């Protein structure tokens, strides 16, 4: 299937929620090939913030967007179903 999306190919649905192995909930934003690293598939995701987290992120000027390779993401997170 040549037109299969990267989300389908790697079983990481767009907008899906995942739990990190150390805790915390995250939502998938995008899967794309990184042209900086020879087209390795990467996942962009963000933390689902509690009010306390939100304040911490704002006070410390932390951007709520993270990137990992698909392999690293799938080894660190579990899909919430």
DSSP state letters, 11-55 = T--TT-EEEETTS-EEEEEEEEEEGGGTTEEEEEEEE---HHHHH
Please give the model's pTM, rounded to 2 decimal places: 0.84
For 8-39, the pLDDT digits (tens) are 999 999 999 999 999 999 999 999 888 776 78
Q: What is the pLDDT of residue 5?
A: 86
Contacting residues for 4 by C-beta, under 8 A, at least 6 apart: none
């Amino acid at each position: 299937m040549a037109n299969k999306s990267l989300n389908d190919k790697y079983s990481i649905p767009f907008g899906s929620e995942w739990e990190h192995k150390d805790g915390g909930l995250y939502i998938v934003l995008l899967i794309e090939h990184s042209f900086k690293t020879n087209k390795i598939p990467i996942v962009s995701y963000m933390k689902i913030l509690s009010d306390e987290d939100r304040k911490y992120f704002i006070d410390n000027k932390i951007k709520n967007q993270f990137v990992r390779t698909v392999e690293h993401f799938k080894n660190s997170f579990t899909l919430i179903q």
